[in-house]
Chain A
Amino acid sequence: MILITLFLEFAGLSFVAFGGATALLPELHRVTVDHHHWLDDTTFTHLYAIAQAAPGPNVLVATLIGWEVAGLGGALAATLGLCLPMSVLIYGLVNHWERYSGQRWQQAIRLGVAPLAVGLVLSGATLIAQAADFHGGAWVIVLVTVVLNLRYPALHPLWLMAAGAVIGLSGGL
């Protein structure tokens, strides 16, 4: 039963996931922590951290949430739920797409989505900070990450994550 609920919740979310799974973080939190109480705040931020540190597309955070909620079946149900609806839709749409490309309504939606997607990513960042209950040290790491990532785009994020993990290990965050 919980597998069906998981699949349907994530399938529903896939229709509003403009900007991919990253933009979906706040809603994933609302549904899994606030609404269903499947996870607590700490576990949610931990799963996000693990997904960030693992190779692969951003969808994997859904795989992890599914696993924590209902084991292997949950992991598959959540991943499929998030991927399947749009995959089916795009499979049907792709041959008709070229006809509409460049039309005014299409440009308008593309322009209109962008500021909302920014808002979603920003909300996701705020949410992680809130759920993890960051204090002084953690905020310094957040700030340093932002500055380094923007100033040195060639610096691989993996180095920053490794540094963050080591600093975290030393305690005091």
Chain B
Amino acid sequence: MSTAQHNIPPSATEPAPTLTALFWGFSSVGLSGFGGVLPFARRLLVEKRRWMTAEEFNAQLGLCQFLPGPNVVNLAVIVGKRYQGLWGALVAPLGLLAGPVLIVLVLARLYDHYGAWPPVQNLLRGLAAVGCGLLFAMAWRMARAIPQKQVFWPFTVFTVSAIALLHWPLPGVMATGLLVSSGLAYWTLGRK
């Protein structure tokens, strides 16, 4: 435990934010991003409010991306806990989600009322096509960033075949894929 605390340098920056500051800070992050808000979280935490340094941010983000689940929500929990303990860990994600959830619920009610109307259906179809394109682009970018492509791309093919073509349940596919793929990565890391 004591070593863990040694490794986290004290924040070289501003005084610890209050619960109110955490709530509104993360609200602004949640409301400013479309299709992912991580860059905005970084801008707020590191550049605008200086609640953490860039190195601290990267280290904490590492843990969030290592674990499954919504990365930004996990990050809010970490930052909240760090400055205001349990209450902070509750208030920061609440701030992050409250505004966007309210907006999306208003949109959902509108959809319930007008969703069957042909122009709305056409509009959503256009949006879905763009959303689909953004996903393909994102996959392409992620695939380009993978090191040792000839070793690891087969696992991408495996995942697409199992999920998109064969419609197998995700938990089993991920467990199997992760075991073999990480095992292989562990082995290649040892050869260096």
Q: Which of B62, B174, B181 has the most CB of A within 10 A?
A: B174
Question: Which label, helix, strand, loop or mixed, suits the secondary structure of the B interface?
Answer: helix
Contact with A along B106-120 (1 / 0, CB 8 A): 011001000100010
User: Quick one: given A20-B71, A64-B108, A145-B133, are A132 and B101 in contact (CB under 8 Å)?
Assistant: no
Q: Which of A115, A117, A144 has the most CB of B within 10 A?
A: A115
Contact A112 B4 (CB under 8 A): no
Contact B63 A116 (CB under 8 A): no
Contact B108 A17 (CB under 8 A): no
Partner of B34, one of A90, A96, A158: A158
B148, closest chain A residue (CB): A111
> With the chains together, A126 CA to B164 CA distance in Å?
7
Chain A residues with CB under 8 A of B104: 50-51, 54, 56, 60, 63-64, 67
Is B15 in the interface zone, CB < 8 Å from A? no
Contact A167 B126 (CB under 8 A): yes
Contact B107 A48 (CB under 8 A): no
Q: How large is the interface on B (under 10, 10 to 19, 20 to 34, 35 or more residues)?
A: 35 or more
Contact B63 A94 (CB under 8 A): yes
Chain A residues with CB under 8 A of B183: 108, 112
Count residues of A near B (Cβ-Cβ below 8 Å). 110
> With the chains together, A34 CA to B134 CA distance in Å?
25
Shortest B182–chain A CB gap in Å is 3
Contact B129 A164 (CB under 8 A): yes
Q: Which of A54, A119, A138 has the most CB of B within 10 A?
A: A119
Contact B186 A120 (CB under 8 A): no
Q: From residue 96 to 146 of chain A, which have CB atoms closer than 8 A to chain B?
A: 96-99, 101, 104-129, 132, 134, 138-139, 141-146
B74, closest chain A residue (CB): A90
Contact A87 B77 (CB under 8 A): yes
Contact with B along A14-45 (1 / 0, CB 8 A): 11111011101111001000100000001101
Contact B184 A112 (CB under 8 A): yes
Is A1 in the interface zone, CB < 8 Å from B? no
